[in-house]
A = this chain, B = another copy of it.
Amino acid sequence: MRKGIQMSEGVCAPLGFIAGGHTCGIKPSGEPDLAVLLATEGPATVAGVFTRNRFAAPSVRYNRAIVGRGQARAIVTNSGIANAATGQPGFDNTMELARLTGERFQIPPDQVMVCSTGIIGVQLPMEKLATGVAAISVGREGGRAAAGAIMTTDAGPKLGQHTLAVGGGQVTIGAMCKGAGMIHPNMATMLAYMTTDAAIGRDVLQQLTTEVAEETFNAVSIDGDSSTNDSLLVLSSGASGIELAPDHPDWPKFRSAFRDLAWEMAESIVAGGEGVNQVFVVQVNGASSQEQARLIARTITTSMLVKTAVRGADPNFGRILCAAGYSGAEFDPERMDLYLGEVQTMRKGLPIEFDPEQASAVLARPRSTITLDLHSGVFGARAVGCDLSAEYVAFNSEYTT
């Protein structure tokens, strides 16, 4: 039944999920701005990772409580207004949106998670949302529509899926997300949803989600700003009938596919940021701990000087070593090797001769890789960043009230 479909179905690819998108009229552009994702066969197991911003939106505080209980039936998302910095009325509106969605789909409102993205400091237009929730249609083919409706300034919908053979059958993982580039006129949000028809226990699913978020969504940077609403939500329907846990022989295979899909989503968020022309992946090897490796990789991806160097295809490796140096990580500079793509520019902490044109050509690629080998241990980490362009600055500064 699921064969022969060519387009990615995103969160609807795994069995047991339907979704849809709708236009409520929140966005001045008239683009779709309401999405619903529904677990068809009863409550799904749920896990989540949320922004650590102290100005967390009401929806984040509300979803944290549901994730704490471990079960959910639906996620309703509106785009256009983030419902952040909205006080008690904002919290009441989140609850009301959950109630309306529960009523429409005849599910308990306390199993409806709510996400909002868009401008802050503005209350949700509850009448428009009530009309939208009543009118939205959801179905097996609604994955792309849902991915479209959660967008803010994203250039296009971001969704993906992966099916793999495990335990004598097959399970599918689906995903959709929206961009984290911080946006005119206020700020946007990284929202990511993943679904699977594998049956996974609550604690295992939460641990998987936390770990994979750290390796993927938390390793992306467009401008270093983390928003009030950032959320990753994961639902496991169990509809494949295949139970998975860390002691299952195929667990590593599943975990790896899950992480790869999450990474693909995370990279698509960076590539789709406003004013982004180039993506660069920083791979740190040979660190004394995972944490040290991450610290270095992430510091390099957020360095404005590295970002502008990538923009100019400037093989200015001194900026990279400088960022590694101030990352706060502990390592011996005199052991560090550095590569731009396949071109080595430093050995044991000292510059070596290289062809600057070849190195420049590496950085001019739409997707380039910077590799540091610290020769201080066995741990590695990667992070993904983007160039800093005049377009980015224009996009984020041109608005004047």
Residues 308-322 of A, flagged 1 when their CB comes within 8 A of B and 0 if not, give 110111111011011
A351 touches B (CB below 8 Å): yes
A392 to B390, CA, bound (A): 9
Chain B residues, Cβ within 8 Å of A392: 308, 393
B120 touches A315 (CB 8 A): no
A35 to B120, CA, bound (A): 52
A225 touches B326 (CB 8 A): yes
A93 touches B (CB below 8 Å): no
A322 touches B225 (CB 8 A): yes
A185 touches B (CB below 8 Å): yes
Question: Interface residues of A, CB < 8 Å — how many?
Answer: 69
A401 touches B (CB below 8 Å): yes
B393 touches A390 (CB 8 A): yes
Residues 153-189 of A, flagged 1 when their CB comes within 8 A of B and 0 if not, give 0000000000000000000000000000010011100
Name A341-366 residues within 8 Å CB distance of B: 346, 349-351, 356-357, 359-360
> Which residue from B182, B186, B360 sits with its C-beta under 8 Å from A400?
B360
Question: Looking across the interface, which residue of chain B has its beta carbon closest to that of A351?
Answer: B121
B85 touches A316 (CB 8 A): no
Instruction: Choose the segment among A9-17, A47-55, A131-139, A211-219 that binds chain B (4+ C-beta atoms closer than 8 Å).
Output: A47-55
How far apart are A162's CB and chain B's nearest CB, in angstroms? 31
Chain B residues, Cβ within 8 Å of A303: 224-225
How far apart are A321's CB and chain B's nearest CB, in angstroms? 5
Main secondary structure of the interface of A (DSSP, over half): loop
Chain B residues, Cβ within 8 Å of A240: none
B322 touches A401 (CB 8 A): no
> Which residue from B309, B323, B396 sits with its C-beta under 8 Å from A397?
B309
Chain B residues, Cβ within 8 Å of A293: none
Known: A223-B304, A350-B87. A318 touches B120 (CB 8 A): yes
Known: A303-B225, A304-B223. A349 touches B85 (CB 8 A): yes
How far apart are A36's CB and chain B's nearest CB, in angstroms? 27
Chain B residues, Cβ within 8 Å of A390: 390, 393-394
Name A189-248 residues within 8 Å CB distance of B: 223-228
What are the 9 A-B residue pairs with the smallest beta carbon separation, nearest first? A312-B397, A356-B401, A308-B396, A55-B325, A121-B351, A53-B325, A311-B397, A308-B397, A390-B390
Beyond known contacts A308-B392, A314-B400: 8 more, CB 8 A cutoff: A87-B350, A121-B350, A182-B305, A223-B305, A308-B396, A312-B396, A356-B401, A388-B397
Q: List 26 A-B contacts (CB under 8 A).
A: A51-B326, A53-B325, A54-B326, A54-B330, A55-B325, A56-B325, A85-B321, A85-B346, A182-B319, A185-B316, A186-B318, A187-B318, A224-B303, A225-B303, A225-B305, A305-B396, A308-B397, A312-B398, A314-B399, A316-B399, A356-B401, A387-B397, A388-B393, A390-B390, A390-B393, A390-B394
